Structure 1
Amino acid sequence: MKNSTIKKALVFSLVALLALGEVSLAQTAASSSAKVFGGRGQYRTWNVGVNAGVLEPIVKTGGTNDFTNWSPSLGYGFTVRKQLGHAFGLELGFLSGRLTYDNGGATINLGSGPRTDGVTQISSAISIMAVTNVATVDFLKRENAINFTVKAGFGQAAYHWVEINPNATPAKGTYGPNRDRNNIRNEYVPVGFGVKFKVSERVNFDLGYTMNFLDADDLDGTKGKGFTKDKWSYKSAGLEFSLGSTAKPNLDWVNPLALMYDELKDITLRQEVEALKGRVSALEAADLLKDSDGDGVADKLDKCPNTEAGIKVDGSGCPLDVDADGIPDSKDACPTVKGTAALNGCPEFVGGSSIAIQFEFNSSVLKTNAYPILDKLSSDLKANSSSIVQLDGHASAEGTDEYNMSLSRDRANSVKTYLVNAGIAAGRIATSAYGESRPLASNSTEAGRTQNRRVEFKQQ
């Protein structure tokens, strides 16, 4: 390395460290009122930086080089960065400086004369890079003091040859397709990594190494053997300054874990919870949650406030009626099919013949000759799981209308009980009572009255 380059690098480093020390003593930490999921607006997200360092016509990843020797040269630049999140940002960068190289006394014939060494002036290298912060979350400390970064992007470099051969150095204005440009321009890909040291809430001290891969083989004025592309590297040190209000923290150094912990332990949050408990207690005290009928819906919202106990209700407090036939599910023998109240919510049977079993005078007890008929009915119902049966109870004309209606209901329920005991679900059995209103024969004779003491059933 040339002595002049070493001196320049040392002077810059010394000045930078002195400046960092002065800034560190002068700065105080900014108070933070940032909240989790509060957005970028509560942070400082813009940063500008200046840097200087060493330019070299090689990269650490190796590869072919057109020259056997090279000399480090001074480079300098500046950056503008927008931090989009705790761990990601976009950086616009500018770089300028010189690359020096030689072949240790050996000569190369370039067509325009022999060459032993050269210098390339990088007039500008402008890039846009994605920067990833790989040390934002810290499980060991609340505040980060060192962050590591990885970056990559795309850029365009403008450069020209300052020295190729004392007798054959291209002059400015001789580059480009029409030989009218002062610089050669080509795209390049920068890839780098670095480390940031937090000096204060406003200032970072940055160290970095960037490898730049040019999409051409004319950076040093020498064509390599085969298909090769030129490259150069930049070792830098610099200062970065955070812009924005001092009342906001720098997003670069915010630890999300500490932020979440602080928000959970915030005294104001606990006060809000206690206040909420107080409001709930006040509502209960004001009977706004009172539920007189115990159906789970407060009286203030209950559209059916006197629901019978045990009946399931909807969100408005009214009895559930899935088939919308006006009969609550809790009383509906066929809750999924529209029916009539007379048949306990089951549909009326249309068509088909009915079978009847008779009862003794003033009795709802099954006669023994009814058992085979009911056993056959239960077998048919078990064989067809979707089938239901309708039971209609009747009575002869002896006694009052009210008594005969009750007796006919008891007779229908007696048959239903037999079927349920035989294994038929009660929901598949609909019952109705007609008393003496539907005689099958004349009630003026005992033979007719015997036929009227019956239960008819229809299967569907």
Structure 2
Amino acid sequence: MNITFKKAGLLAAASILSATQLIGQTHVVNEVRPFAPETEYRTWSIGVHGGLLNQSNLIGLRREFDKVEQNLGYGVYIKRQILPGFGVQAEFVGGKVGGAYKDNNNTFETKLPWSLALSAHITLANINWRHHQGVIKPYLNAGLGALSFEPTAEVDGISMEYDASTKLFIPGGIGLKFAVANDLNIDLGYRLNLVQSTTFDGIVNGGSKDIYSYAHLGVEFALGNKSKPFMANSNPVSAMQKEYMAQYDELLAQKAALEAQQAENKKLQSQMERLYADLADEDGDGVANRYDKCPDTPEKTKVDGAGCPLPEPKAPVVQQVAVTEEDRRVVDEAIQNLEFDLGKATIRQPSHTSLNKVAVLLIEKNFSLKLAGHTDNTGSMQTNMRLSKERAEAVKAYLVSKGANPSRIEATGYGPTQPIANNSTAEGRQQNRRVEFTLY
């Protein structure tokens, strides 16, 4: 008897030690929205447990032997969580059950090589709308299974042995699970098993069925991606409350931010009103009242920076300068003496004297001058257009170098497009190669 209790104690201690070591291994678990699909959870788990097998029960059912003996039991299960409050588990339990009479030496011992059961598992805490978040989770389970048992009995000094049998049994139980980590529960449970046989305890007594119970302590481990929450530890009501509180806190923060922004807007509005008052311009002259030293200026009156009327501008005196015959003679002389290097825009030295006179004329009388460059039709059109433009520009550059105003000189090239003589003769081509001066 003492050895059996020691074994059970060691098994329970080992389970708790393993759970304690795992509690320290924290994992980051992603939050999921309330009533999220099961793909966002871990739904599979495994459990191991150990405890005591005996013929006692908590509901007062009759048993054959009135002296209870405690024997070691052990088990393992795998569970599929379908809903936060409901799952299905397949479980194996092994060990032995024994008992005796207090008044005589009649005893029995039944070995349980194995028992397999499929049970529904209901987690009450996860379907309780008042229980928003809890570490302690009560549960119920019930199902159907099959077991193998080998009973032996000693009655009135006679030993009786039975062959191994396999029968159906109905397990039903209650328990508590302690959610000590994201993926770990400590499991403390009690299960009553109704065996569909009258020889489980080695004695045939009428048609009543035999019973035995199993009190156990163990651990349950969630399987799968550790970043996902374990559905068996999930409470939709708690998730709804948490989401509601988060939204409520966010709304409070938004309200506080809105009130702060409204206060800032009022402050800015007050500053803008003062600014508009400072910048008011009643007479519409473009100078604010606070800076206007001449208020009530008539509309459309031009004013200075102080808002006072500007003096009326005097009309500029334009001196008309006429082009005289002498001026034209100077220009004609420059045209007659203008020579360039062959095929180039370089002005030859003999042309400088007459061009100097034109420059003096432009400076002294502020005349404008239009230069038009022309060529004969020898060569390509592209070359002639470029050459005529370059020669007109060369004349302009020379006059500007002598002090003439460049903005009053226009240089244009026309190439062979405006001949004044026949290009079929050398004399005609010579006349067509020219730069015309128009003074105005």
Normalising by the residue count of structure 1, what TM-score does the alignment of the two structures yield?
0.50
Give the helix-richer structure, 1 or 2. 2
Counterpart of 2:88? 90
Please give the per-residue CA displacement for 1:223-279, whole angstroms capped at 9, x wherever unaligned.
Answer: 12x431100000000011000101100011112123224545678xx99xx9xxxxx
Alpha-carbon contact 2:125-2:131 (below 8 Å) kept: no
Please give the per-residue CA displacement for 1:368-410, whole angstroms capped at 9, x wherever unaligned.
Answer: xxxxxxxxxxxxxxxxxxxxxxxxxxxxxxxxxxxxxxxxxxx
Distance 1:153 1:35 in 2: 32
Could you say if the C-alpha distance between residues 35 and 65 of structure 1 is closer, same or farther in structure 2, counting changes exceeding 3 Å? same
2:227 counterpart (225, 243, 247): 247
Say whether residues 1:200 and 2:181 are aligned partners.
yes
2:161 counterpart (170, 173, 198): 170
Distance 2:170 2:95 in 1: 18
**1:41-440 pair list within 5 angstroms:** 41-104=39-102, 106=104, 116-136=106-126, 143-162=133-152, 164=154, 168-170=159-161, 175=163, 183-224=164-205, 226-263=206-243
Distance 1:43 1:147 in 2: 18
Q: Which secondary structure state, in structure 1, belongs to the residue aligned with residue 62 of structure 2?
A: coil
Alpha-carbon contact 1:64-1:228 (below 8 Å) kept: no
Could you say if the C-alpha distance between residues 146 and 29 of structure 1 is closer, same or farther in structure 2, counting changes exceeding 3 Å? farther
Alpha-carbon contact 1:78-1:95 (below 8 Å) kept: yes
Counterpart of 1:373? none
Distance 1:251 1:149 in 2: 15
Which range moves more in the overlay, 185-194 or 15-24?
Answer: 15-24
Alpha-carbon contact 1:23-1:199 (below 8 Å) kept: no
Which range moves more in the overlay, 199-208 or 235-244?
Answer: 199-208
Distance 1:28 1:220 in 2: 47
Residue identity matched to 1:202: D
Distance 1:77 1:17 in 2: 15
TM-superposed CA distance for 1:34, in Å, is 1.6
Counterpart of 2:30? 32
Residue identity matched to 2:195: L
Distance 2:131 2:97 in 1: 42
Distance 2:114 2:165 in 1: 11
Distance 2:151 2:70 in 1: 16
- Matched-pair identity in %: 26
Q: Which secondary structure state, in structure 1, belongs to the residue aligned with residue 3 of structure 2?
A: helix
Counterpart of 1:9? 8
Q: Which secondary structure state, in structure 1, belongs to the residue aligned with residue 18 of structure 2?
A: helix
Residue identity matched to 1:206: D
Please give the per-residue CA displacement for 1:183-231, whole angstroms capped at 9, x wherever unaligned.
Answer: 201111111000001121121110000000111111011012x431100
Please give the per-residue CA displacement for 1:413-460, whole angstroms capped at 9, x wherever unaligned.
Answer: xxxxxxxxxxxxxxxxxxxxxxxxxxxxxxxxxxxxxxxxxxxxxxxx
Q: Which secondary structure state, in structure 2, belongs to the residue aligned with residue 187 of structure 1?
A: strand
> Can you give the 5+ residue segments of structure 2 that lack an aligned partner in the other structure?
255-440
TM-superposed CA distance for 1:158, in Å, is 0.7
Distance 2:71 2:82 in 1: 34
Distance 1:29 1:265 in 2: 24
TM-superposed CA distance for 1:134, in Å, is 0.5
Distance 1:98 1:34 in 2: 45
Alpha-carbon contact 1:66-1:223 (below 8 Å) kept: no
Alpha-carbon contact 2:27-2:227 (below 8 Å) kept: no
Distance 1:42 1:19 in 2: 27
CA RMSD of aligned residues (A): 2.8
Residue identity matched to 1:129: S
Q: Which secondary structure state, in structure 1, belongs to the residue aligned with residue 204 of structure 2?
A: coil
Q: Which secondary structure state, in structure 1, belongs to the residue aligned with residue 33 of structure 2?
A: coil
Normalising by the residue count of structure 2, what TM-score does the alignment of the two structures yield?
0.53
TM-superposed CA distance for 1:58, in Å, is 2.8
**Larger gyration radius, structure 1 or structure 2:** 2
Distance 2:55 2:131 in 1: 40
Counterpart of 2:298? none
TM-superposed CA distance for 1:169, in Å, is 4.3
> Can you give the 5+ residue segments of structure 1 that lack an aligned partner in the other structure?
108-115, 176-182, 275-460
- The 4+ residue runs of structure 1 with deviation greater than 6 A are 138-141
Q: Which secondary structure state, in structure 1, belongs to the residue aligned with residue 161 of structure 2?
A: coil
Distance 2:29 2:235 in 1: 14
TM-superposed CA distance for 1:46, in Å, is 0.4
Residue identity matched to 1:232: Y
Residue identity matched to 1:53: G
Distance 1:60 1:218 in 2: 22
Alpha-carbon contact 1:143-1:253 (below 8 Å) kept: no
TM-superposed CA distance for 1:141, in Å, is 7.4
Distance 1:71 1:168 in 2: 19
Distance 2:103 2:128 in 1: 53
Alpha-carbon contact 1:96-1:123 (below 8 Å) kept: yes
Could you say if the C-alpha distance between residues 255 and 246 of structure 1 is closer, same or farther in structure 2, counting changes exceeding 3 Å? same
Distance 1:141 1:227 in 2: 44
TM-superposed CA distance for 1:47, in Å, is 0.7
Residue identity matched to 2:120: A
Q: Which secondary structure state, in structure 1, belongs to the residue aligned with residue 64 of structure 2?
A: coil
